[in-house]
Amino acid sequence: MAEEVGLDLVEISPDAKPPVAKIMDFGKYKYEIAQKAREARQNQTHIVVKEIRFGLKIEPHDYETKRTHIERFLKGGDKVKVTVQFKGREQTRPEMGYRLLMKLSEEVVECGFVEFAPKKEGKSMTMVLGPVLKKSQAAKKPTSKPEVSAPAVAVKVVAQEVAQ
Going by C-alpha positions, the residue among 32, 28, 37 that lies closest to residue 7 is 28
> Distance of CA 104 to CAs 24, 84, 96, 112, Å?
60, 11, 12, 11
Say what the pTM is.
Answer: 0.60
Q: Do 93 and 65 lie in a common domain? A: yes
What percentage of the chain has pLDDT greater than the value 70? 80
User: Per the domain annotation, does 6 fall within a domain?
Assistant: yes
Q: Do 29 and 58 lie in a common domain? A: no
User: Per the domain annotation, does 110 fall within a domain?
Assistant: yes
Q: Do 18 and 74 lie in a common domain? A: no
Tell me the residue range of the domain where 81 lies. Answer: 49-139
Instruction: Please check the confidence at residue 143 and state whether its pLDDT lies above 80.
Output: no
Contact 130, 79 (CB under 8 A): yes
Q: Do 53 and 133 lie in a common domain? A: yes
Q: Do 54 and 119 lie in a common domain? A: yes
Instruction: Please check the confidence at residue 33 and state whether its pLDDT lies above 50.
Output: yes
> Distance of CA 109 to CAs 37, 70, 115, 132, 133, Å?
37, 11, 12, 9, 12
